[in-house]
Amino acid sequence: MQQKVIFLCLYVSYLLSVYVRRSVTFALPDIATAESLDKNQLGLILSGQTLAYALSKFTSGIMMDFVSPRLAMSVGLILSGISAILFASAHGSLMMFTIFWIMNGLFQGPGWPAAAVIMRKWFKDEQYGTAWSVLSTSMNVAGTLGPLIAAFIITYSSWRYSLLLPGVLAMVFGFIQYVIVRDKPGDYTGDKTKKKTTGNKNSEKVLSRRELLKLPGYLGVCITYGVISLIQYGTLQWAPVYLVNELGHSIITGNSFTSSLEVGGICGSLLAGYYSDYLLTQMKEEPCQNVRQYVIAWFASGLVVFLYMLTYCVSTYSTLMWIDMIGFGLGMTIYGPISIYGVTAIECAPSEMAGTSHAFASLLATVGQSVAGLPLSYFAKYWGWRKMFITEMLLVLMMAGYLFVQTKSCHGKRENVSKPKAD
């Protein structure tokens, strides 16, 4: 029972964290109009946040071994809520908007690393992958409800109140989480001490941080994680703006598209997690990360199809149902890979370097999210939306091709490496 309560608190906490982090994105078309901001200025605000988030998430992932993850997650949630309230209180100043949203990115950093560490201590190894996939759907729930709530508030009030709501909720729940959540079960201390002592004996034998990137397949996982993250944020941030400002649809349609994308993301996350675990049980002789990369490659192939449909099959006269169907497909094929990339990165490295391997992969992912801000907005401004989406399609095609080749070529190499170890 206590395990379920802990997981529920982590789920709600990260849901609110994502809600706050994307609150500006949900209100982006209205902010652009009300504050007279162009694409490049909006891109500066978004890129500043995601770059700060990248730095904070990377350092927080390493620091989780030295600080209380419960404290870090609670304080980060409270401060991110305050930064959202400050952003909503700023008036017409690009500098203040950028500063407050960079602060938000810095405060958001500890959220996911802290949740991952807490779950690792509360769940058994055979439960961890499933718990990870389910927890990752919290971002989809936030992305589904957030745009609808924001659209309702903006329609009857203003964009400022659409940021005040998640800011206040995050502050309140940050205190609640600190009271309820515990870093580890009460009877876990003895086991943890034993694991640490054995880990210290073997620490000299593990790979160095520099050698981590040389592990077979690991660098490819990091790079493709960055590509899919670029597509994720590029679609989340700019597709609604494209639908509203370029094709003339209402903000209700733009936010409905985002919500349908997130609903598809929930289905895709659960499907990818379940199917990759199923393949692992059926193909035990295969390297774990290669099996998951195989699943990611098929999801990426589907993503190309739905990006094509968004580019060429949506017009000013397209119905809301048709747009939402495409959004649902995009959500499935984007969030399916994202939900298992963290586990894939960890499985590429020795267990002693799980935290570091995940931190490096997350860093590349957040860099991809940053590129989806200002650089992508420049691309759309000078070459147009359609060419931007075509470029995304080409990136995903190359990513899928690499993963299909990787899953075939690495199997034989890894078998040859593993045979001497068996002797």
Q: From the options 3.20.20.140, 1.20.1250.20, 3.20.20.60, 3.40.710.10, give the CATH code of 213-409.
A: 1.20.1250.20
Percentage helix, strand, coil, to 5, in the chain? 85, 0, 15
Torsion on CA atoms 230, 270, 185, 359, rounded to nearest 10: -20
Q: What is the pLDDT along the chain (423 residues), one digit of tens a residue?
A: 788 888 899 999 999 999 999 888 888 888 888 777 777 788 888 888 878 887 888 888 777 767 888 898 999 999 999 999 999 888 877 888 889 999 999 999 888 888 877 877 777 655 666 777 788 888 878 877 888 898 888 888 888 898 999 999 999 999 999 988 887 776 344 444 444 433 443 434 455 566 666 676 788 888 889 889 888 888 877 888 888 888 888 878 887 888 888 889 888 988 887 787 777 777 655 444 577 788 889 999 999 999 999 889 888 888 889 999 999 999 999 988 888 887 777 777 665 566 677 778 888 887 887 788 777 777 777 888 888 888 888 999 998 888 888 776 544 444 443 444 433
For the chain, domain boundaries: 1-183, 213-409
Read off the pTM.
Answer: 0.69
May I ask the CATH class of domain 1-183?
mainly alpha
Torsion on CA atoms 332, 335, 336, 341, rounded to nearest 10: 170
Q: What is the pLDDT of residue 299?
A: 93
Q: Can you tell me the distance from the alpha carbon of 77 to that of 83, in angstroms, rounded to the nearest whole number? A: 10
CB neighbours of residue 38 within 10 Å: 11
- The residue among 105, 131, 136 whose CA lies nearest residue 120 is 131
Tell me which H or E stretch contains 17: helix 2-21
Q: What is the pLDDT of residue 165?
A: 92
Q: What is the pLDDT of residue 94?
A: 83
C-alpha pair distances (Å), 405 with each of 277, 280, 390, 411: 21, 19, 23, 10
Q: Can you tell me the distance from the alpha carbon of 84 to that of 170, in angstroms, rounded to the nearest whole number? A: 10
Q: What is the pLDDT of residue 269?
A: 86
Q: Give the CA angle between residues 262, 267, 269 to the nearest 5°.
A: 85
DSSP codes of every residue in 253-285: HHHHHHHHHHHHHHHHHHHHHHHHHHHHHH-TT
Q: Which residues of 51-86 are buried (b: 16+ CB within 10 A; e: fewer)?
A: bbbbebbbbbbebbeeebbbebbbbbbbbbbbbbbb
Locate all alpha helices (DSSP H) within 283-319, ordered by sequence: 288-312
Report the half-sphere exposure of 187 (CA within 13 A, side-chain side).
Answer: 2
Q: What is the pLDDT of residue 408?
A: 66
Contacts of 329 (CB under 8 A, 6+ apart): 264, 302, 305, 306, 309
- The residue among 113, 115, 169, 119 whose CA lies nearest residue 4 is 119
Contacts of 320 (CB under 8 A, 6+ apart): 253, 256
Q: Which two tokens stand for residue 228?
A: 């899919």
